[in-house]
Chains A and B, each alone.
Chain A
Amino acid sequence: MSTLTLREAPPERLDLLPITPLSLSGLSQGEAERLEIGTSRRGVRLGDIFTVSLDGSDTLTIEGGHERLDQVGAALSEGTLRVNGDVGQRLGAGMAGGRITVSGYAGPYAGSGATGGLITVEGDAGDHAGGALYGAKAGLDGATLIVRGRAGDHCGDRMRRGTILVGRAGAHAGARMIAGTLAALEVGDLPGFGMRRGTLVVGRHGALSPTFVETGSHDLVYLRLLARHLQGLSEAHAALLARPLRRYSGDLATLAKGEIWVAA
Chain B
Amino acid sequence: MPAWVKGASTDMDTAIAAAAELLGAARTPVIAGLNAEVSAIRAAYDLAGRVGASLDTLGAAGTYAELGALSRSGAMTSTPAEVVGRADAVLVVGAKPWSTELTGRILEARPSRGRAAGAERALMALGTGAPQAALTVPAEGGLLPGLALLRAHLRGHLAEASPTADLARTLAASLYVAVLYDPAEVGEMGVETIQGLVIDLNETTRAFSLAVPGETQDRAVVPVAAWTTGQAPRTGFGRRVPEHDPWRFDAARQVAAGEADAALWLASVPAPAPGWLSRIPSIALVGDASPEAAEVVIAVGVPGRDLGGVLWNETRGALTYWPARAGGAVAADLPSAASVLSRLTDHLAGRSDTAC
> Is B52 within 8 A of A40, CB to CB?
yes
Interface code B243-284, partner A: CB below 8 Å = 1, 0 otherwise?
A: 111111000000001010000000000000000000000000
Interface code A132-154, partner B: CB below 8 Å = 1, 0 otherwise?
A: 00110000000000000000000
Given known A190-B144, A211-B152, contact A108–B247 (CB-CB < 8 A) = yes
- Bound together, the chains give a CA A176 to CA B69 distance in angstroms of 11
Given known A39-B239, A40-B52, contact A210–B148 (CB-CB < 8 A) = yes
A251 contact set on B, CB distance < 8 A: 148, 152
- Bound together, the chains give a CA A38 to CA B27 distance in angstroms of 11
Interface code B147-187, partner A: CB below 8 Å = 1, 0 otherwise?
A: 11101100101100000000000000000000000000000
A161 CB–B CB distance under 8 Å = no
A211 contact set on B, CB distance < 8 A: 145, 148-149, 151-152, 157-158
- Bound together, the chains give a CA A211 to CA B68 distance in angstroms of 23
A194 CB–B CB distance under 8 Å = yes
> Is B152 within 8 A of A253, CB to CB?
yes
> Is B246 within 8 A of A252, CB to CB?
no
> Is B238 within 8 A of A252, CB to CB?
no
> Is A190 within 8 A of B145, CB to CB?
yes
> Is B246 within 8 A of A134, CB to CB?
yes
A220 CB–B CB distance under 8 Å = no
A235 CB–B CB distance under 8 Å = no
For chain B, residues 42 to 68, give those with C-beta under 8 angstroms from any C-beta of chain A. 51-52, 64, 67-68
> Is A12 within 8 A of B259, CB to CB?
yes
Residue from A39, A41, A109, A176 with most neighbouring chain B CB atoms (10 Å) = A41
A193 CB–B CB distance under 8 Å = yes
Q: Which of B52, B141, B149, B247 meets A89, CB within 8 Å?
A: B247
Given known A172-B189, A210-B141, A253-B196, contact A13–B151 (CB-CB < 8 A) = no
B193 CB–A CB distance under 8 Å = yes
A256 CB–B CB distance under 8 Å = yes
B145 contact set on A, CB distance < 8 A: 190, 207, 209-211
How far in angstroms is the closest Cβ of chain A from B93?
Answer: 14
> Is A253 within 8 A of B151, CB to CB?
yes
> Is A134 within 8 A of B64, CB to CB?
yes
> Is B189 within 8 A of A194, CB to CB?
yes
B315 CB–A CB distance under 8 Å = no
- Bound together, the chains give a CA A41 to CA B141 distance in angstroms of 47
> Is A194 within 8 A of B193, CB to CB?
yes
- Bound together, the chains give a CA A134 to CA B68 distance in angstroms of 6
Q: Which of A13, A41, A70, A209 meets B144, CB within 8 Å?
A: A209
A28 CB–B CB distance under 8 Å = no
- Bound together, the chains give a CA A13 to CA B261 distance in angstroms of 13
- Bound together, the chains give a CA A40 to CA B245 distance in angstroms of 14
Given known A13-B259, A211-B148, A252-B158, contact A176–B192 (CB-CB < 8 A) = yes
A160 CB–B CB distance under 8 Å = no
How far in angstroms is the closest Cβ of chain A from B22?
Answer: 15
How far in angstroms is the closest Cβ of chain B from A252?
Answer: 4
- Bound together, the chains give a CA A89 to CA B185 distance in angstroms of 26
Interface code A236-258, partner B: CB below 8 Å = 1, 0 otherwise?
A: 00000000000000011110100
Given known A134-B71, A193-B144, contact A41–B354 (CB-CB < 8 A) = yes
> Is B148 within 8 A of A209, CB to CB?
yes
> Is B71 within 8 A of A135, CB to CB?
yes
> Is A210 within 8 A of B27, CB to CB?
no
> Is A42 within 8 A of B158, CB to CB?
no
- Bound together, the chains give a CA A168 to CA B145 distance in angstroms of 22
How far in angstroms is the closest Cβ of chain A from B350?
Answer: 16
A11 contact set on B, CB distance < 8 A: 27
> Is B259 within 8 A of A193, CB to CB?
no
Beta-carbon nearest neighbor of B352 in chain A: A41
> Is A210 within 8 A of B247, CB to CB?
no
For chain B, residues 296 to 338, give those with C-beta under 8 angstroms from any C-beta of chain A. none
Which 5 A-B residue pairings sit nearest by Cβ, starting from the closest? A41-B52, A252-B152, A252-B157, A253-B148, A253-B151
Known: A39-B243, A41-B237, A175-B189. 17 other contacts (CB 8 A): A13-B248, A39-B238, A40-B52, A41-B52, A89-B247, A134-B64, A134-B67, A134-B71, A134-B232, A193-B189, A194-B148, A194-B193, A211-B152, A211-B157, A251-B148, A252-B152, A254-B196
Residues of A within 8 A of B (CB): 11-13, 38-43, 67-68, 70, 89, 108-109, 134-135, 158, 172, 175-176, 190, 193-194, 207, 209-211, 251-254, 256
29 of the cross-chain contacts (CB-CB < 8 Å) are A12-B259, A38-B238, A39-B238, A40-B52, A40-B238, A41-B27, A41-B51, A41-B52, A41-B238, A41-B352, A42-B27, A134-B64, A134-B71, A134-B246, A135-B71, A176-B72, A176-B189, A190-B144, A194-B189, A194-B193, A209-B148, A210-B148, A210-B149, A251-B148, A252-B155, A252-B157, A252-B158, A253-B196, A253-B197
